[in-house]
Amino acid sequence: MINLTINSNPVAVPEGWTVLQAAEKLNVRIPTLCNHPDLCVAGNCRVCVVEQKDARTLIASCSQPATEGMEIMTNTLKVRNARKHIVELLLSEHRADCTKCYRNQNCELQALANEFAFGDHLFLDLVGEHEHLIDRTSASIIKDDSKCIRCQRCVRTCTELQKVSAIAVSGKGHEQKISTFHDRPISHVVCTNCGQCVNRCPTGALTEKTYIDHVWDAIYDPSKKVIVQTAPAVRVALGEDLGYDPGERVTGKLVSALRQLGFDYVLDTDFSADLTIMEEGTELLTRLKKALVDGDKETSLPMFTSCSPGWIKFIEHKYPELLPNLSTCKSPQQMFGALAKTYFADNVKVDPENIVSVSIMPCTAKKFEANRPEMRDSGYKDVDFVLTTRELAIMIKQAGIDFRRLDTSNYDSVMGESTGAAVIFGATGGVMEAALRTAYEIVTGKEVPFENINIMPVRGMEGVKEATIKIEGCLKEWSFLEGAELNVAIAHGLTNADKVMSAVARGEANYHFIEIMACPGGCIGGGGQPIPTSTAIRQNRIDAIYAEDMSMAIRKSHENPEVVAVYKNFLGEPNSHKAHELLHTHYVERMRY
Amino acid sequence: METRKITKVDLIFEHIDPREVLVKAYKLGSEGIIQEMLDSGVKGRGGAGFPTGMKWKFCAAEPEPEKYIVCNADEGEPGTFKDREILDRVSYKVFGGMAIAARAVGARRGYVYLRGEYKFLMPQLLMELDGFHKMIDEIGYDFRIEFKLGSGAYICGEESALFESIEGKRGEPRNKPPYPTKCGLFGKPTVVNNVETLVNAVIIIKYGSEKYRSMGTQFSTGAKVFSVSGDTPTPGIYELELGMTCLEFVKEFGDGDAKAVQVGGAAGFCVPRKAFAKTIIGFEGVPTGGSMKLFNSSRSMYNVLHNYLDFFAEESCGQCTPCRIGTQQLLRGVEAVKRGEMKSAYLNELVKLAETMKISSKCGLGQSVGNAFNSIVENFREEIIY
């Protein structure tokens, strides 16, 4: 242990801890800005400087390791003056139109300014010195350099967590900025639209493109029927933007709020998540049969899940040679969209032309996905507008809804029925678990051999998880699988996805089925979720997801009565011709640079 | 205080038999070399003045088997042009210093990080390096040197930014600790020395630490190559013993009308006429990497300051707040005062800002902007305002 004092109070910390961590242990708060719990230390904003006895300069507490006998002072005049200067400097290059900013009242620079830099500006305004272009080219993300304070959290996120490096630092001195490859628009570089940078930007420099006003217009258009679907991960995170602690489940209130906002039908993406399991599970079993029994060399294994649009764009850019391994299933959002303007329209007898289909997603990449040219199989744009969890919270506030006092209510039907299997799509490993619950039962007629059908090996926050499921007691038509060991892998965060993909590409991976989610923790850690984020917050949301699963009466996708009905009345059977037309898609090879 | 008269020496550029020195160093071995370096009292010639023997000792003590010797030849300080001359005339001594350092710390690979603008030296240097490699092979050294060209950024002369650049990354300083002797190039223990420092190692081994110590002062041993420029009838490169005063320097090199000397380039200090007599050039006074720029009374110190600030605002890597924005604020601030848009009292705020930059910037660049700024503003305030 290392012994040091902070503001004369002794503290002992393990070797390798920073001064900042030591201060946290003593509950001494040191302000930070470029520091983020998910990212490596940068030490570039200098807001966290503190004084060390007998040192020539102040030290950055986030990057300075604690050493034996150190005497640290966090609140001397020298420190205060330096901090004030640093915050004033940041403000002088930041376009502070706070009242109109998307991040107003949830901005880390604003919070620091309130503490250290109120009153008149100390320095000259430098914002006008630079030409700032706002990049609105992406369907998902807006980048406004005039609000950027160069903390490089986004750069570290894109590089470390996602291994995408769509954004990087360019230029030096007064020309230094966060830029893209050759300064191209975001829509024209290798960006997966995952939005993890948005989640970690301390200011309003990176935000999602909002469609709130489009949705309000639709709601108030009397000629339109507006239907809304909500993704599984929204119900365990929305509360955070409305004053609840992380991990609070607000499903019933969410439904009531959407109704009060004026949506004509409040439906659940869970329904199409269950449908995805039927389609994807069948596709997997078919591929296994082709490969193992028919000896078809053309069949690509392992098969990859295709629910996460950030992941889809990643593989399209980086591993196009592996696209045949990607399940052809659309994501639940897009399956829902395709059925909304066909099956659902028939059901409620509304001309699909007059349906506006909205989705509430934990995701920024879903905005891009809904705008893909492939996603018009209903004959219309399958999903018209995608809102993030954060945008929904804004709408709820705009409508003056007292969320806490709302009664709970249930989703409409059809396409509003959910199962536990669908809910866990929101957590890493969830799609795998849901698929195994169904596929195992299709093949053997028995439940998966885990207590309470909770498949614990595929759960948890480890970056890459592996599991092997032995298939025993097969039904007759599946006897070729008797005794087979199904090897599965699960990765979340694109850096982990890349690890698995490079192993697959090298032929070193012995998997049959791989689940990939672009975001850390899965959808609950999505780029559209409430800010801030950290491992602890994501864990709380995951705990809530599994609690929701346990609370459901039905916990297996194939038992969802609405799913049974849609096959009986509309689609026929899984992977039928009609199902292929509406629920499956194809992918495109994209440039690597 | 101990001072010296101007004493010109000729050790750096003197031609010697490198084989003889390298054989001697080889026989001395790690401990012997490091002891000589420690005894000599030599400090880094790049400007920061860290005791070279200590640096080698720390690196030698690291158990990691893979280590590097890096020669910092990214000579970019405004007004410094001595390393170019050294590399041009006695590159074998630079390579020799690297081999001695390698022997001392147990490194097998070395890099010369050469300023991009010195590319024209490359063909000659590579040829000389071939001969050098053959010679040290014969003596028994297991050491190879490679060249890496810079791309024009001043910041890459900062040692950790230099490592990043060699590694193929954007040249940005790293957080310290860890220091290079523990975790440097490619994450391995690394000795990084200025061109001139490495030549000094050859001199120390050849003549012995005792003779070396007889030059200079107690805290500034040895001699140093100075790049003399500005308002002087005799600009050029001079090797002088350390410890002279600024007054003696100006008497020797000035044009009779010197009102200030900028010692140590843009990152150094401005010494005004009234302080010439009491200012020692050396580590006990004003340290320098070698740049000595004289200004006579025809020069506007506002223009001098503006030129330096313009340089820093462009050459800051932009990574840390105090340096990236502070340099711009100082530049725009003095412009605003000059134009009368800000009151002259605003200069006091800027001096405080420069102090903040000194104590809170991440690396030596931001930390030294305040040297030039404050020494010019304090001594030539009226020239800045009016």
Predicted pLDDT at A323: 97
- Spatial distance between the Cα atoms of B153 and B172, rounded to a whole number of angstroms: 10
Alpha helix locations (H) across B116-193?
122-139, 159-166
Q: Out of B328, B342, B367, whose CB is closest to A126?
A: B328
A contact set with B (CB within 8 A): 41, 43-47, 49, 56-58, 60, 63-65, 78, 81-82, 85-86, 89-90, 92-93, 122-124, 126, 129, 149-150, 152, 168-169, 171-176
pLDDT tens, residue order, chain A (593 aa): 999 999 999 999 999 999 999 999 999 999 999 999 999 999 999 999 999 999 999 999 999 999 999 999 999 999 999 999 999 999 999 999 999 999 999 999 999 999 998 888 999 999 988 888 899 999 999 999 999 999 999 999 999 999 999 999 999 999 999 999 999 999 999 999 999 999 999 999 999 999 999 999 999 999 999 999 999 999 999 999 999 999 999 999 999 999 999 999 999 999 999 999 999 999 999 999 999 888 888 899 999 999 999 999 999 999 999 999 999 999 999 999 999 999 999 999 999 999 999 999 999 999 999 999 999 999 999 999 999 999 999 999 999 999 999 999 999 999 999 999 999 999 999 999 999 999 999 999 999 999 999 999 999 999 999 999 999 999 999 999 999 999 999 999 999 999 999 999 999 999 999 999 999 999 999 999 999 999 999 999 999 999 999 999 999 999 999 999 999 999 999 999 999 999 999 999 999 87
When the candidates are 1.20.1440.230, 3.40.50.11030, 3.30.360.10, 3.40.50.1970, the CATH number that belongs to B301-381 is: 1.20.1440.230
Q: Does B332 lie at the interface with A, CB-CB under 8 angstroms?
A: yes
Average pLDDT over residues B90-108: 98
Q: Which residue in chain A has the smallest CA separation from B311?
A: A173
Predicted pLDDT at B2: 61
| CB distance B213 to B34 below 8 Å | no
DSSP H or E run through B62: none
Q: Does B22 lie at the interface with A, CB-CB under 8 angstroms?
A: no
Contacts of A165 in chain B (CB under 8 A): none
Which residues does A134 contact at the CB level (< 8 Å), separation at least 6? A142, A143, A144, A145, A146
Q: What is the edge-to-edge ordering of all strands in the sheet holding B68-73?
A: B144-149, B109-114, B68-73, B190-194
Contacts of A150 in chain B (CB under 8 A): 318-319, 321, 324
- Number of residues in chain B: 386
**pTM score:** 0.95
Q: Does B328 lie at the interface with A, CB-CB under 8 angstroms?
A: yes
Contacts of A168 in chain B (CB under 8 A): 170
CA distances from A382 to A354, A378, B209 (A): 12, 6, 82
CA distances from A220 to A89, A229, A261, A356, B265 (A): 45, 18, 10, 12, 68
Measured N-to-C along each axis, helices B122-139 and B82-105 cross at an angle, to the nearest 10 degrees, of: 30
Measured N-to-C along each axis, helices B301-315 and B364-379 cross at an angle, to the nearest 10 degrees, of: 170
Instruction: Indicate the Cα dihedral angle A318, A323, A327, A332, nearest 10°.
Output: 50
Determine whether domain A2-75 maps to CATH 3.10.20.740: yes
| CB distance B317 to A173 below 8 Å | yes
- Spatial distance between the Cα atoms of B48 and B265, rounded to a whole number of angstroms: 13
In 3D space, the residue among B104, B114, B95 whose CA is nearest the CA of residue B202 turns out to be B95
A85 to chain B, closest Cα gap in Å = 7
- Spatial distance between the Cα atoms of B373 and A199, rounded to a whole number of angstroms: 40
Q: What's the token pair of residue B203? A: 């001199």
- Spatial distance between the Cα atoms of B144 and B142, rounded to a whole number of angstroms: 7
Q: Does B160 lie at the interface with A, CB-CB under 8 angstroms?
A: no
B10 to chain A, closest Cα gap in Å = 36
Q: Can the peptide bond before residue A309 be classed as cis, meaning omega within 30 degrees of 0?
A: no
Q: Does B182 lie at the interface with A, CB-CB under 8 angstroms?
A: no
Q: Out of A43, A122, A149, whose CB is closest to B349?
A: A122
Q: Does B170 lie at the interface with A, CB-CB under 8 angstroms?
A: yes
B161 to chain A, closest Cα gap in Å = 13
Q: Does B352 lie at the interface with A, CB-CB under 8 angstroms?
A: yes
Q: DSSP states of A232-267 as a string?
A: GGGTTTGGGGGTPPTT---HHHHHHHHHHHT-SEEE
Per-residue confidence band for B3, with pLDDT thresholds at 50, 70 and 90: low
Contacts of B316 in chain A (CB under 8 A): 172-174, 176
The 10 Å Cβ neighbour count of residue B120 is 9
Which single residue is written with the structure tokens 């004084």? Answer: A51
Contacts of B359 in chain A (CB under 8 A): 49, 56-58, 78, 82
Q: Which residue in chain B has the smallest CA separation from A94?
A: B325
Measured N-to-C along each axis, helices B122-139 and B18-40 cross at an angle, to the nearest 10 degrees, of: 90
Percent share of chain B, pLDDT over 90: 96
- Spatial distance between the Cα atoms of B96 and B98, rounded to a whole number of angstroms: 5
| Cβ contact, residue pair B325, A90, below 8 Å | yes
| CB distance A557 to A421 below 8 Å | yes
Size of interface A-B (CB pairs under 8 A): 119
Residue-wise pLDDT for B15-56, tens only, equals 999 999 999 999 999 999 999 999 999 999 988 899 999 999
Predicted pLDDT at B379: 97
Average pLDDT over residues B312-341: 98
Q: Out of B314, B349, B352, whose CB is closest to A173?
A: B314
Q: Which of B317, B351, B360 to mutate to test the interface with A (most CBs of A within 10 A)?
A: B360
- Spatial distance between the Cα atoms of A562 and A272, rounded to a whole number of angstroms: 10
| Cβ contact, residue pair A60, B170, below 8 Å | no
Predicted pLDDT at A119: 86
Longest Cα separation, chain A: 80
Assign a CATH topology to domain B223-296: Ubiquitin-like (UB roll) (3.10.20)
Domain B18-213, what architecture? 3-Layer(aba) Sandwich (3.40)
Q: What dotted CATH number matches A90-208?
A: 3.30.70.20
B81 to chain A, closest Cα gap in Å = 24
Predicted pLDDT at B4: 65
Q: Out of B177, B333, B356, whose CB is closest to A85?
A: B356
Q: Domain spanning A213-271+333-405: which CATH class is it, in words? A: alpha beta
Average pLDDT over residues B173-181: 96
Radius of gyration of chain A (CA): 25
Per-residue confidence band for B294, with pLDDT thresholds at 50, 70 and 90: very high
For residue B1, pLDDT over 60 is answered with no
Our measurement of the distance from residue B287's CA atom to the centroid of its chain's CA atoms, rounded to an integer in Å, reads: 10
Contacts of B333 in chain A (CB under 8 A): 123-124
Q: Out of B172, B321, B358, whose CB is closest to A46?
A: B321
Measured N-to-C along each axis, helices B82-105 and B52-61 cross at an angle, to the nearest 10 degrees, of: 40
B115 to chain A, closest Cα gap in Å = 17
Q: What does the domain layout of chain B look like in residue ranges?
A: 18-213, 223-296, 301-381
Relative to beta strand A59-60, strand A141-144 is unpaired
| Cβ contact, residue pair B316, A44, below 8 Å | no
- Spatial distance between the Cα atoms of A530 and B249, rounded to a whole number of angstroms: 65
Q: Out of B153, B325, B362, whose CB is closest to A126?
A: B325
Contacts of A43 in chain B (CB under 8 A): 175, 320, 362
Helix, strand, or coil (residue B308): helix
Contacts of B312 in chain A (CB under 8 A): 173
Q: What does the domain layout of chain A look like in residue ranges?
A: 2-75, 90-208, 213-271+333-405
Q: Out of A64, A82, A172, whose CB is closest to B315?
A: A172
Active site residues of A: 280, 283, 307, 327, 366, 369, 374, 523
Contacts of B371 in chain A (CB under 8 A): none
